[in-house]
Amino acid sequence: MILNGVEIRDTFAEAFPMVGTRLIVTADTPEWALTAGRTTTGFATSVIGCGCEAGIERVLAPEETPDGRPGVSLLIFAMDFKQLKTVVPLRLGQCVLTCPTTACYAGIETGKRVPLAKTIRYFADGHQISKKIGDKRFWRLPVMEGEFVCDEDTGSVDGVGGGNFLILARSRAAALKAAEAAVAAMGTVEGVILPFPGGVVRSGSKVGSKYKGLFASTNDAYCPTLRATRPSALPPEVGSVLEIVIDGVSFEAVSEATRVGITAVCALGAEGGVVAVDAGNYGGNLGPFHFKLREIMKDSAGGAA
């Protein structure tokens, strides 16, 4: 399959189950809402070493938030529900409670309950006040600035982690431009995050290592500088590879983000220095979710073959 001169390789991205939740964080200004969102989702690129994967799903207008203020929607994913219940209150307490003017609300109403103010209310040292509206309980915690308002808990979903595709380009500049175009386009898809810095991964990994105790290491088959010494998956004209990793609330959301991202890459085409689009998998042994690139892109292929 060739799209605008770019080969869509006949492979699939292999993804695995995760458990996720959504937080709605609001503030007096869009800038402070973004500050809280960026801080809360910081150091959350991979469960390998970070404990969770998190990102800003999208920016919210005042009419989209519970309190009529500017906000952001955050998605946080962990490998199991126990870990999710641990990391969410920690990030809430350290990064949202501490940030000027913020409030925090549940972004998912269904599924197992993840504690929010139910856990961090004790910071108020007995001065916390709760109010139940309908079936929901909110907490007000006095702070030096005024008060912090927060939902007691939020819901959760069984999500998908590790969706991905690889951009094979002639140069580093071409790969980065294509990756930036993909990230911008994928930002319009609801229900997904791209947890790595700026949505892009330069250091894609493989399972295992020559070093004892290290269970992931550089994906040498896709490192251009190792082409002469290691078995390579790269044609001679490829000088740089970048990866986009996708976490989502459903298989469909990750699939749509993949389609949108690859479409943006192929819009730059061979003239933009893009050679091929590939994906990372481990022969189907890592996870049950397989995102087949050609199947996802078949509606965009037209007469390409």
How high is the pLDDT of residue 19?
Answer: 98
Domain borders along the chain are 2-15+160-301, 18-157
For residues 221 and 233, what is the distance between their CA atoms, to the nearest angstrom?
5
For residues 289 and 286, what is the distance between their CA atoms, to the nearest angstrom?
9
How high is the pLDDT of residue 242?
Answer: 98
> Do 157 and 20 form a contact (C-beta atoms < 8 A)?
yes
User: What is the CB-side half-sphere exposure of residue 215 using CA atoms within 13 A?
Assistant: 4
How high is the pLDDT of residue 158?
Answer: 97
> Do 109 and 155 form a contact (C-beta atoms < 8 A)?
yes
CA distances from 47 to 40, 58, 61, 130, 231 (A): 15, 22, 30, 34, 28
Element (H, E) at 277: strand 274-278
How high is the pLDDT of residue 283?
Answer: 80
How high is the pLDDT of residue 208?
Answer: 87
How high is the pLDDT of residue 303?
Answer: 47
> Do 166 and 132 form a contact (C-beta atoms < 8 A)?
no
Spell out, as residue ranges, where the chain has pLDDT lower than 50: 303
Question: How confident is the model over 49-104, as pLDDT tens digits?
Answer: 899 999 999 999 999 999 999 999 999 999 999 999 999 999 999 999 999 999 99
How high is the pLDDT of residue 304?
Answer: 54
Pick the CATH number of 2-15+160-301 from 3.40.50.2300, 3.30.70.2500, 3.40.50.1100, 3.30.70.520: 3.30.70.520
Query: Would you say the CATH fold of 18-157 matches that of 2-15+160-301?
Result: yes
Q: Is 18-157 CATH 3.30.70.520? A: yes
Total-model pTM: 0.94
How high is the pLDDT of residue 232?
Answer: 95
Residue 46 φ then ψ, to 5°: -150, 145
